[in-house]
């Protein structure tokens, strides 16, 4: 069967509300895709020890990407597709979709690089709203040093040019050269002290499961779809979530590794949780209490066994799909603060 022809659509074609949903997804997926990058680089013998968040590290990063392309992107599923392609409904040759998926974490590595030089860096919408501007609605990294950095665009464009097969497109410096053109990296006045790899420590974190909310892309119209185009049922406003330790068996949560009860109390309170108006206590969690979030937006059920907290189930009650999506992001951050994961309940 012939490969599908590429469809072209851009972020400036979508309504602002949908673009904001995509921006929030980019923010939420960042830690997940960096962990993916660390594990994939380590598994393929990539230069993970050189990934120190410096300008210079962009060269071995791109060189490794080219090597993976030449090898057929081992470890990348045949149906893999980037968040950008999923969100815009783009189709095209399998090689192109897999290549852009493989390069997707580069945006988040670039964000970490920018943050080293400009600690105030944060994700936000492209700030100019001129209708003729083809970057309108694109996610950007805003900072005091460079003003803004189109973090997603460089890797996406460099990969597209790589696939064109023209001489020089696979140059080891291609990604750096593109950023040099945009940001003038070599002329940057700030010189930072040497640092260790920012990816190596992430090998201690297990990759997020396929049903993690951070992997779900908000399709236009806010219907979430799996980032790879395949997977379990989608998380919506009527489906339950649970916070558990990595590797926990959802059929037997009582045997899951324990969670920190004090940290859980702090995090649940920050989410707006309460015991019918009373504060949450470790003792209440160990007693298997039910916690209300906000004005009955969600119900949290503590699961305890053997004198320890084993899990926290979240059930939506009076919540809109948009607010539930926001809560998912907050719950995922809460789960990470516990060294746990947010997953769909079994």
**Percent of the residues in the chain that have a pLDDT greater than 70, as a whole number:** 84
Residue 217 in any domain: the answer is no
In eight-state DSSP terms, residue 259 is B
Out of 204, 224, 256, pick the residue that ends a domain: 204
| pLDDT value at residue 187 | 64
Whether residues 18 and 90 share a domain: the answer is yes
pLDDT at 219: 66
Same domain, 242 and 194: no
**Distance in angstroms (rounded) separating the CA atoms of residues 57 and 197:** 10
How many whole angstroms separate alpha carbon 258 and alpha carbon 246? 11
- Give 290-342 pLDDT, tens digit per residue: 898 887 788 899 999 999 999 999 888 777 766 777 787 788 888 888 888 88
CATH no. for residue 244?
Answer: 3.30.70
Contact 265, 250 (CB under 8 A): no
Question: Which helix H or strand E contains 197, and what residues bound it?
Answer: none
State both tokens at 336. 């990470």
230 falls within a domain: no
Distance, CA of 151 to CA of 26 (rounded, Å): 11
Domain co-membership, 162 together with 88: yes
Q: What sign does the dihedral 128-133-137-140 (CA atoms) show?
A: negative
Per-residue pLDDT of 87-134, as tens digits, reads 888 887 888 889 999 999 999 999 999 888 888 888 888 765 444 466
| Tens-place pLDDT, residues 35-59 | 999 999 999 999 999 999 988 899 9
> Does residue 124 belong to any structural domain of this protein?
yes
pLDDT tens track for 164-205: 766 566 777 778 887 877 777 766 656 677 789 999 999 999
Q: Is pLDDT above 50 for 275?
A: yes
Cα gap 139→26, rounded to integer Å: 8
Report if residue 182 sits inside a domain.
yes
Helix or strand or coil: residue 339?
coil
Residues 247 and 339 in one domain: yes
Cβ neighbours of residue 27 closer than 8 Å, sequence gap 6 or more: 123, 329
Domain of 309, in residue numbers: 235-344
* Buried/exposed code over 267-280 (b: 16+ C-beta within 10 A; e: otherwise): bbeebebeeeeeeb
- At 208-266, the pLDDT tens digits run 888 788 888 886 664 444 444 333 333 344 467 899 998 888 888 999 999 999 999 98
* Closest residue by Cα to residue 305 from 268, 339, 264, 256: 256
Name the residue with tokens 């659509």: 9
Return the H-helix or E-strand segment holding 42.
helix 16-43
Which of 183, 204, 225 finishes a domain? 204
Return d(Cα 222, Cα 46) in angstroms, integer: 36
Residue 154 in domain? yes
Query: Looking at the chain, which runs of residues are DSSP E strands?
Result: 122-125, 139-143, 147-149, 216-218, 224-226, 241-244, 273-274, 290-293, 298-305, 308-316, 341-344
In a shared domain, residues 43 and 171: yes
Q: 167 lies in a domain? A: yes
Q: pTM for this one? A: 0.62
Pair 320, 195 in one domain: no
**How high is the pLDDT of residue 188?**
61
């Amino acid at each position: 069967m012939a490969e599908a022809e590429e469809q072209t659509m851009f972020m400036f074609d979508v309504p602002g509300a949908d673009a904001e949903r995509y921006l929030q997804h980019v923010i939420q997926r960042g830690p997940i895709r960096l962990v993916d990058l660390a594990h994939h680089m380590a598994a393929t013998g990539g230069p993970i020890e050189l990934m120190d968040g410096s300008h210079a590290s962009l060269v071995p990063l791109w060189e490794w990407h080219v090597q993976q392309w030449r090898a057929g992107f081992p470890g990348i599923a045949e149906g893999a597709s980037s968040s950008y392609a999923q969100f815009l409904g783009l189709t095209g040759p399998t090689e192109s979709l897999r290549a852009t998926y493989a390069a997707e974490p580069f945006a988040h590595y670039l964000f970490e690089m920018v943050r080293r030089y400009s600690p105030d860096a944060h994700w936000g919408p492209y700030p100019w709203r001129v209708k003729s501007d083809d970057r309108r609605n694109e996610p950007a990294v805003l900072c005091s040093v460079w003003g803004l950095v189109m973090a997603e665009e460089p890797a996406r464009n460099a990969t597209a040019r790589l696939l064109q097969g023209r001489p020089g497109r696979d140059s080891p410096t291609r990604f750096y050269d593109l950023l040099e053109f945009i940001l003038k990296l070599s002329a940057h006045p700030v010189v930072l002290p040497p640092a260790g790899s920012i990816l190596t420590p992430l090998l201690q974190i297990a990759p997020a499961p396929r049903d993690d909310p951070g992997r779900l892309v908000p399709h236009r119209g806010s219907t979430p779809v799996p980032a790879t185009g395949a997977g379990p049922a989608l998380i919506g406003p009527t489906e339950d979530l649970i916070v558990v330790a990595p590797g926990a068996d959802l059929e037997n949560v009582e045997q899951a590794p324990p969670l920190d009860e004090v940290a859980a109390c702090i995090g649940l309170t920050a989410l707006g949780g309460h015991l019918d108006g009373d504060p949450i206590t470790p003792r209440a969690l160990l007693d298997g209490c039910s916690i209300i979030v906000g004005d009955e937006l969600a119900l949290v059920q503590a699961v305890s066994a053997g004198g320890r907290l084993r899990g926290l189930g979240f059930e939506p009650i009076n919540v809109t799909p948009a607010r539930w999506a926001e809560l998912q992001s907050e719950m995922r951050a809460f789960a990470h603060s516990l060294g746990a994961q947010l997953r769909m309940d079994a």
